[in-house]
Amino acid sequence: MSGIMIGVGAVIKDKLGKVLLVKHVPQRGGFWQGKWICPGGGLQVGETIEHGILREVGEETSLKVKLLRPLVPFERIVKEGDEVTLHVIYIDYLAEMVGGNLTPADDVGEAIWVSEEELLQRWDELHDDTKILFRIAGIVGE
């Protein structure tokens, strides 16, 4: 492992209160593969958290968002035996869509808006860390 990753992203709502989910293409692989997640990615050196979120959301979805408030950060440490293979600290914001047309990037593949009811119906399809994020954001209850 080459250090701690700072993952930045957003729980994005539209004007109807639906939230955005994205899923990476199978060829990308990785820890988040095959599950619905929120748009985001790695913070770059010299980049502010807010700029990193706006960049990642724009790259992955072509959307423009307004950042409303920061969410409580959390981390994930993944081990294989005694070896740490991933250590990520998630820093996310609650955001609202303010412009653009939803166009998934090449590495994203799929992007959908879901109501709270649809979110609960797809709950098992969400990445475990995304479930934590939605609880922190108050989108779903404990």
Q: What average pLDDT does this structure show over 35-64? A: 96
Give the pLDDT band of residue 30 (cuts 50, 70, 90): low
Tell whether 121 is covered by a domain. Answer: yes
Quote the domain boundaries for residue 76: 5-136
- Would the pLDDT of 14 be above 90? yes
Determine the pLDDT at residue 107.
79
Q: How many domains does the chain have?
A: 1
Give the pLDDT band of residue 92 (cuts 50, 70, 90): very high
- What long-range pairs does 2-6 form, CB within 8 A, spacing at least 24? 3/87, 4/87, 4/88, 4/89, 5/42, 5/86, 5/87, 5/88, 5/89, 6/42, 6/43, 6/88, 6/89, 6/91
Tell whether 142 is covered by a domain. Answer: no
Report yes or no on whether pTM surpasses 0.85. yes
Tell whether 34 is covered by a domain. Answer: yes
Q: Which of 26-35, 84-93, 102-111, 127-136 has the lowest mean pLDDT?
A: 26-35
Tell whether 40 is covered by a domain. Answer: yes
Query: Residue 113 belongs to a domain with what CATH number?
Result: 3.90.79.10
Percent of the chain with pLDDT over 70: 92
Tell whether 118 is covered by a domain. Answer: yes
Tell whether 141 is covered by a domain. Answer: no
